Structure 1
Amino acid sequence: MEKKMLFPQTGALIHGGDYNPEQWLDRPDILEEDVRLMKKAGMNSATLGVFSWSVLEPREGEFHFEWLEEIVDRLYQNGIYTVLATPSGARPAWLDEAYPEAMRVNRQGMREHHGGRHNHCMTSPKYREKVTVIDRKLAERLGSHPGVIMYHISNEFGGECFCPLCIQRFQEYLAEKYDHDIDKLNAAWWTAFWSHRYNRFDQIEPPFASGENSVMGLNLEWKRFTTWNTNDFMKHEISVLRSVTPDVPVTANFMRLFGGLDYRKMAPELDVVSWDNYPLFHNDWETFAETMCETAFQHAVMRSLKRGTPFMMMESAPGLVNWQPVNKVKRPGVHRLACLQAVAGGSDTVQYFQWRKGRGSFEQFHGAVVDHIGTDDTRVFREVAQVGELLKKIAPVAGTLVQPRAALLFDWDNRWAIEDVKALAQATKKYEETCIDIWKSFFRLGVDMDVVGSDEDLSAYDVVVAPMLYLLQPGTAGNLKAFVERGGQLLATYFTGYVNADQLCYLGGFPGDGLKDLFGIISEEIDSLYPSDRNGIQMTDGTKWEVKEYAEILQVQDAQILGRYTDDFYGGSAAVTCKNHGRGNAYYVAARTAGEQMLPLFEKMLADGGIPVRKLPGGVEYHVRSGEEGRYEFYLNCTGEEQTVSDVKGKDLVTDTEVQGTLTLQRYGAAVVKTA
C-alpha cells in the first residue's frame, strides 16, 4: 500500500504551531530567540499570517510583506517550514469603516459592529474583493517560496449572516434548488400548514429570531445554505491562491463535531482536512480515559472526511486554554499521550496554538510552548520538546493510514433535523451523544470505526451502525440495502426513516423508503420516557438491557425477535430484531439503551463480519495504522495506573525494544509497535 505523504519535503511528521511574529516586530531579540527555541523543541513547522491583515495592509492599498518574508526566510534557513495562512478570519478596522456591508447582520436583524472574528459576511462582494487582493498579493510574494508547504485558508469558519445581501442570495439559492417553481417549494415545505404558503421566492426570509421558525424545511435549508455559502467563500479564496500557485496544497481548520457547518460538503475542496483539538481534560463529570475516548471519536470524524489521506491536528494546547469553563492545567504526561493519540488516529501533524504567549488581549493567558517567562525552563516546554523527539522516533508512521472495516453513520442534515423537530422529548434527543456512545462501545472492543455519511460508499466496511437515522437522503435506503445484500452487518435504532430530505414524513410505515422491508418491522409508535419511568429488554441470550428515554412499539413482519420489552402495556412485544439477507443481517434496536449493554450484540456482528475483537484493560486504547512499509499498533494507557497488554509482538519504536508477548505501559504511557 503506497504511502500518502502530506509533506514529502520534510519526510517526517510535522511538529509546529501558530506563530504570531507580527506581535513582536519591535523585539528583534525575541524573534531571533524564537528560532533557537523552535529548534530546541524539535519544531519543523510554523503557521504564519492567520490574523496578520492589519499589519500586512495597515491602510487600504498599502502593503507590507517584507517582515513576513524575512520570517519565512529565517525559518527555512533553520529547517522550519511554513504553513501560510490567508488573513481573512479577522478584518482590519479600515475595512469595516470603508465597507460596512462586510460586517454581519445577526439573527435579530441588527448590523454587528467592528470587532472579534468570524463575523464577516460571506456574501459581500466588497469583502470578497478585498480578500481577493490580499490573498493574491500573499501568493505572489510568498507562495513559491521553498519554505512554504501549505496554505491555511482563513480560520475556523463559522456563523451566519442575515443581511440583505445574504437574504437575496438565499432566495436565489432556493429558486435554483426548486427549479424556479414556488409550488414545488411549497409542496416540499408543507406550507399549507398555518397558511404559510409563499407566492414568490423573494417573499422568503431566513429564520430571524422574530420571524418564521415553524417551517422545518425553511430552517433546514437555511443551515444548508449557510454551509453552501461558506463553502463558496472558501472556494473563492482557494481559487485565487491556485491561480498563482496551483501546486501548493490547501487546508482549512475545522472544529470538532461543529454544529454550524456540514464539513462533509467542505472537505472535497481541500487537499487535506485539519482540525483544532481542545478536549476538556481533567473535568469532574467523566474519567480521563472517557475524555480521551471521545477525543478519539473526534479524530475519527476528521479522518473520515477525506479517507485515503492523513489529516492534520492543526491546533492543540501545549498547556491549558483560557476559554473553557474551568481552565485546568494538563497533568504531567498528558500532553505526550494526547499528541500520540492524534497520530494514532491518523494525523500526520502535531501542531499548537500557540507558539509564544502574547502580552495582551483575549488570548494572553492561553497556553503556549513559550510562556511569558520567555525561556525553555518550563514544564510545558520540556514536554513539547519530548514530543518533538518522540515524533522523530515514530517518523516511519508518516503517510500510513487508519483503515477500519467498521463505520458509524452520522449526517449533519439528520442532526439539524432532529434538533429542530417538534417530537420526542426536547431535552433528551441526544443524537450526537448516542452516536458517540455507540462508537465508544466498539472502540472498547479494540475496533476503530470511521464516521461516514449515509450516502457514502460503504464497500470498504463489513459492519455499519446507523443510530437515529431520522432523515433519509435520496440514496440512503438503496445504499443500506446494497450493503446488507452483499453480506454486511447493519444495525439501526429507534427513530429511523421518519422523514425524507425535505423533512416530509414517509407514508406507509416507518422506517420509510423501503427500509421497513429491509428490517422486517414497522414502527407503530414511539414512547418518550421520563427519568422516573422504568422498562427493560429481555434478550434471548439471557441478558437484560435497561431502557431509557425512548422506546418504539413495533409490528414485526418477517424478522427474528432477539429481545422483548419487560414492562408497560407493550411488555412482551419486540424490542430487538434481526432479518437475514443471505450472509448479511439487518438488526433493529427499537429502544435507547447504553452502548455498553449492547456489547454482546456488537461482538456477534463483528464476528459475522470477520472483524477481530481486541479486548484490552480498561482505559487502554488500541489503534492501527498501516502502509507499504508495515503495520503499526498504538497502545495508549489513559489511566493513572500501570497496565499490561498481552499478545503483543514487534518492535516498539518509542523505546527501540522488541516486545515478545507482554507489553507494560506506565501511567499515561504509550507504545508504537511495528508488527509487520
Structure 2
Amino acid sequence: MTSPLTSRFPYPAGSDGGRRLGYGADYNPEQWPREVWEEDVRLMREAGVNIVSLAIFSWARLQPTADTWDFGWLDEVMDLLHAGGIGVDLATATASPPPWLTTAHPEILPVTATGDTLWPGARQHWRPTSPVFRTHALRLVRELATRYAGHPALVAWHVNNELGCHNVYDYSDDAALAFRAWLRRRYTTLDALNHAWGTAFWSQRYSDWDQILPPRLAASHPNPTQQLDFKRFSSDALKDHLLAEREVLRELTPDVPVTTNFMVMGGTKGMDYADWAGSGAIDFVANDHYVIPGPQDRDELSFAANLTSGIAGHRPWFLMEHSTGAVNWQSVNLPKKPGELARDSLLHVAHGADAVCFFQWRQSAAGAEKYHSAMVPHAGTDSALFRSVSELGRTLEALAPIAGAEREPARVAVLFDWDSWWTSEHDSHPTSRLDYHREALDWYSALLRLGIRADVVPAHSTDLTSYDVVIAPVLHVVPQPFGKELARYVEDGGHLVTTYFSGVVDENDHIWLGGYPGALRELLGIRIEEFGPLLDGVTVDLDNETTGSLWTDRITVTGPDVEVLASYRSGTYASRPAVTRCTTGRGSAAYVSTRLGAEGLAALLPELLGPAGVSSELPDGARGSVELTVRRDAGSRYLFLVNRGDVPVPLPGVTGELLVGPAMEGGLVLSPREVAVIRQPAP
C-alpha cells in the first residue's frame, strides 16, 4: 500500500557529500553556562555526533513572559552547531507550557477521570483540546519558524515531544466539547450513535448531543463503546495538535521535513501511531525506545523497532531517543552491560533506523532526570561510557553505505491492531488478565527463538498478500470488510494464524452473534459457545507437551477440512480441540485457544509454518542465539547478525563484505552481545 510519508529524511552529508547515518542526542544547552557550549560542540565532533534535537523544553526560556521573547541564546547555539558541522532537529518547544501561562490560564491544565486537575511542576501539563493552549502554542511555533526558516543548521522540525506521554486522556470540559464534535463527525446522527453505543442497555439513550460526556468516573463499568470511542478520539486529538503545528511549519518552511517522536515501546498504547503516520501528519517516522529489564527485554526492543519499521512502511526512520545506560524512572534503574549500548543501537539500525540518538547529550546536574544516563555522564569524558559512545560514532560512520536502504520484507507478518489492543483489555470482560501486547510479543519471541525473520505490521495498512504467513494474536476487533480481506487472503494461498478472543466484536464493540470466534468462525471452521478463562496460577496441559494458561475455549469443529493439531489433556475441556487448522482454497487458517507463552509457541510454530514452507535462514547452532535482519537497496543486501546472548556464537558459511564486526578469517564468530553487518550483492 502507498505510504503518505515523504522521502525527505534529514540525512547528514558525509565528507564526500554522500549520505551518512545520523548520530546524536537531545541537547539542552540552557541547563549549562555559556562556557560549556563550545566544549560541547568540540566533544560532539570527537564522538561523531552530526545531529541534535534542540529546544525541546525551552518555552519558558524562549518566552519569559507573555509579551517578551529571548532568542539570542538559541541563535548562538544554532550558529555554534552549524560551525561544528552539526545539524539541528529543532523542537517547537510546546511540550511544557511555562509558569506564566498556567498561572494566567489554569483552564489549560488537564483533568483526570475523577475530576482532579493535573497541576504544573512536571511536564505536559496541557489539554490537547484547549483552544487557549493551542493559540499560545501556535504563536510560539510561528515565532520559531519565522526566525529560523533560513538557518543553515536547521535540518528538521520536531513537533512538541512524546505527544500524549502524560496527557493522552483528558476529561475536562474542553475535552467534552471536542469529544461531542468528534462524535458528530463520526456518526452524523444521534440515532447512529445510540445504535453504535448500544445505549438501550442501562437506559443510556441520548436525546441531545450535549448530554454526552467523556467516560469519567462512574458508579459501575462505563459504556464499552463510549470507552473505545474516547480512546480513538484522544489519539485523534493529539494528532490534530500535531497537524496544527505542522501546518504552521509547512507554511513558513515548506522545504524542512517535519516529525514528532513516537513512543513505540511496551505499555504505551494510547496513541494509534499507524493512523498518525498514515494521515500524512509527518514526513518521516521517529521513535523513542527504552529497554524495560525482564526476560524478554531485547525481544521487546526488536519487536518495537520492527513495528516502527512497519508503521514507516519499511522506509528508514529516526531513533530520536534511547539510553546510553540506566534510566531514572523504573523501580530499579540498571546500567547496561558491556556491549549493550552498541548492540541496542545497531538492532534499531537493523530494523530501519537511519539515525541513532540518545536522551541526552550531557547528563543533567539538577532536575527530575539527573540520574538518567547520557552521552557525557557525570563522570565526564574520561569514562568507559563516553569511550563507548565515541566507538559507536565510528561504527555508524562505517555503516554509511546502508543509509536509505529499506528493510527487506520477511515471509511472516505479525499483525498489530490498536483497536484490538484497546478493546480486548476493557473492563467487564471474561478476564481482566488479558495482555494484548504481551501475547503479540510472545509470538514474536517464539519466532526469534526459531531464527525466523518476521515483520511486525499495522493490521489495517498492510498488504497481506505479500506475506506467506500472517499471525494475528488476539485480533479481537474484526469489522466485516477486514474479515472478508482475511478470507480472501486465505483463499488465495495465504496462511493465517490467530488466537483466543479473536474475531469476537465489530468496530462498534458489538458481538458477532452466532457463536465465537464471530467474524472468523466460518474461515476457521470452528464454533465456540462459551469461553473458559483460567484463574491465576491455573494451567492446562496439551497433548503436544505444551502448557496453556490464562484462557481456554470449548471448541466444536464445524468445517469439513479442519485438522486438530493439539487437544487439551487436562482441565474442563480435556479431550477437546485446543489448536486447529482449517484448509480453505489454497491456504489455511489456524486457531490457538490458549496462552502458550513464548516457549510453547516456539514448540508449536514449526507445525503452523509448515504449510507455507517457512523455516530459519540461520545455521542450526545460531537459532535462538542470533537475530538476523536484512536491509537492501538497488544493488546490495545488508545482513545484520546480532548476538542476543552472553556466549560466543559461530556462524559458519557466512560470506560477503564485512562492514562492521569481527574478522571473518576462518569463519565468523560473534562474541557476546556483538553485531556483524555484512554486505552481499542483491540477487
TM-score higher than 0.5 here?
yes
1:651 aligns with 2:660: no
Aligned with residue 580 of structure 2, among 572, 577, 581: 577
1:278 aligns to what?
A: 290
Cα pair distance change 1:40/1:610, threshold 3 Å: same
Q: How do 1:343-382 and structure 2 match up within 5 A?
A: 343-373=349-379, 375-382=380-387
How big is the shift at 1:203?
0.6
1:188 aligns with 2:188: no
1:300 aligns to what?
A: 306
1:412 aligns with 2:418: yes
Distance in 1 between residues matched to 2:428 and 2:38, nearest whole Å: 59
Distance in 2 between residues matched to 1:302 and 1:431, nearest whole Å: 17
2:126 aligns to what?
A: 120
2:440 aligns to what?
A: 435
* Matched residue type, 1:544: E
1:383 aligns to what?
A: 388
Cα pair distance change 1:63/1:342, threshold 3 Å: same
- Describe the superposition over 1:444-464 as per-residue Cα deviations: whole angstroms up to 9, x where unpaired: 223232222332331322210
Cα pair 1:454 1:473 within 8 Å, conserved:
no
Q: How do 1:166-245 and structure 2 match up within 5 A?
A: 166-179=175-188, 181-210=189-218, 213-245=221-253
Range 568-577 or range 133-142, more displaced = 568-577
- Describe the superposition over 1:262-290 as per-residue Cα deviations: whole angstroms up to 9, x where unpaired: 2122123211111112103xx4x52xxx3
Q: Which consecutive aligned stretches of 4+ in structure 1 deviate over 6 angstroms post-superposition? A: none
* Matched residue type, 1:490: L
1:263 aligns with 2:266: no
Percent identity at matched positions? 35
Cα pair distance change 1:595/1:168, threshold 3 Å: same
- Describe the superposition over 1:193-241 as per-residue Cα deviations: whole angstroms up to 9, x where unpaired: 2222222121111111246742101111111110111110110010010
Cα pair 2:465 2:489 within 8 Å, conserved:
yes
Range 301-310 or range 32-41, more displaced = 301-310
* Matched residue type, 1:481: A
1:566 aligns to what?
A: 569
2:639 aligns to what?
A: 633
How big is the shift at 1:657?
4.8
- Describe the superposition over 1:33-55 as per-residue Cα deviations: whole angstroms up to 9, x where unpaired: 00110011110111101011111
How big is the shift at 1:561?
2.1
SS in 2 for 1:647: coil
Cα pair 1:16 1:350 within 8 Å, conserved:
yes
2:542 aligns to what?
A: 537
SS in 2 for 1:331: coil
1:50 aligns with 2:44: no
SS in 1 for 2:589: strand
- Describe the superposition over 1:567-611 as per-residue Cα deviations: whole angstroms up to 9, x where unpaired: 345322222221212321111122222343333543344454354
- Describe the superposition over 1:289-312 as per-residue Cα deviations: whole angstroms up to 9, x where unpaired: x32122101111211112131111
1:450 aligns to what?
A: 455
Distance in 1 between residues matched to 2:8 and 2:239, nearest whole Å: 26
Cα pair 2:661 2:675 within 8 Å, conserved:
no
* Matched residue type, 1:641: V
Range 378-387 or range 157-166, more displaced = 157-166
Aligned with residue 592 of structure 1, among 595, 601, 604: 595
Cα pair distance change 1:506/1:145, threshold 3 Å: same
Cα pair distance change 1:600/1:212, threshold 3 Å: closer
How big is the shift at 1:137?
1.4
1:550 aligns to what?
A: 551
Distance in 1 between residues matched to 2:613 and 2:152, nearest whole Å: 47
Cα pair 1:644 1:663 within 8 Å, conserved:
yes
Distance in 2 between residues matched to 1:249 and 1:473, nearest whole Å: 35
Aligned with residue 28 of structure 1, among 27, 34, 37: 34
Aligned with residue 617 of structure 2, among 614, 618, 622: 614
How big is the shift at 1:645?
1.7
Cα pair 2:7 2:283 within 8 Å, conserved:
no
Aligned with residue 404 of structure 2, among 384, 399, 403: 399
Aligned with residue 495 of structure 2, among 480, 483, 489: 489
Cα pair 1:16 1:352 within 8 Å, conserved:
yes
Range 227-236 or range 163-172, more displaced = 163-172
Aligned with residue 671 of structure 1, among 671, 676, 683: 676
Q: How do 1:125-164 and structure 2 match up within 5 A?
A: 125-158=131-164, 159=167, 160-164=169-173
SS in 2 for 1:675: strand
Cα pair 1:653 1:674 within 8 Å, conserved:
yes
SS in 2 for 1:648: coil
2:85 aligns to what?
A: 79
* Matched residue type, 1:628: A
Distance in 2 between residues matched to 1:17 and 1:248, nearest whole Å: 19
Cα pair distance change 1:569/1:335, threshold 3 Å: closer
SS in 1 for 2:382: coil
Q: How do 1:313-328 and structure 2 match up within 5 A?
A: 313-328=319-334
Cα pair distance change 1:308/1:665, threshold 3 Å: closer
Tell me the number of residue pairs that the alignment of Structure 1 and Structure 2 aligns.
657
- Describe the superposition over 1:510-535 as per-residue Cα deviations: whole angstroms up to 9, x where unpaired: 2223x211111112221112345443
Aligned with residue 504 of structure 2, among 488, 498, 504: 498
Distance in 2 between residues matched to 1:104 and 1:18, nearest whole Å: 26
Aligned residues: CA RMSD:
2.0
SS in 1 for 2:654: strand
Q: How do 1:334-345 and structure 2 match up within 5 A?
A: 334-345=340-351
Range 33-42 or range 169-178, more displaced = 169-178
Cα pair 2:414 2:454 within 8 Å, conserved:
yes
* Matched residue type, 2:384: R
Cα pair 1:86 1:153 within 8 Å, conserved:
yes
Distance in 2 between residues matched to 1:242 and 1:5, nearest whole Å: 13
Distance in 1 between residues matched to 2:555 and 2:378, nearest whole Å: 63
How big is the shift at 1:5?
7.5
* Matched residue type, 1:640: D
Cα pair 2:549 2:596 within 8 Å, conserved:
yes
1:468 aligns with 2:479: no
Distance in 2 between residues matched to 1:59 and 1:476, nearest whole Å: 52
* Matched residue type, 2:417: D
Distance in 1 between residues matched to 2:180 and 2:536, nearest whole Å: 43
How big is the shift at 1:81?
0.7
Cα pair 1:397 1:632 within 8 Å, conserved:
yes
* Matched residue type, 1:545: T
Cα pair distance change 1:337/1:494, threshold 3 Å: same
How big is the shift at 1:623?
1.4
- Describe the superposition over 1:31-80 as per-residue Cα deviations: whole angstroms up to 9, x where unpaired: 11001100111101111010111111111131222221221121112111
Q: TM-score, normalised by structure 1?
A: 0.93
Q: Please, which runs of 5 or more residues in structure 1 have no aligned partner?
A: none
Cα pair 1:617 1:643 within 8 Å, conserved:
no
Cα pair distance change 1:617/1:585, threshold 3 Å: closer
Aligned with residue 250 of structure 1, among 240, 244, 258: 258
Cα pair distance change 1:617/1:587, threshold 3 Å: closer
Cα pair 2:59 2:98 within 8 Å, conserved:
yes
Distance in 2 between residues matched to 1:327 and 1:87, nearest whole Å: 28
Q: TM-score, normalised by structure 2?
A: 0.92
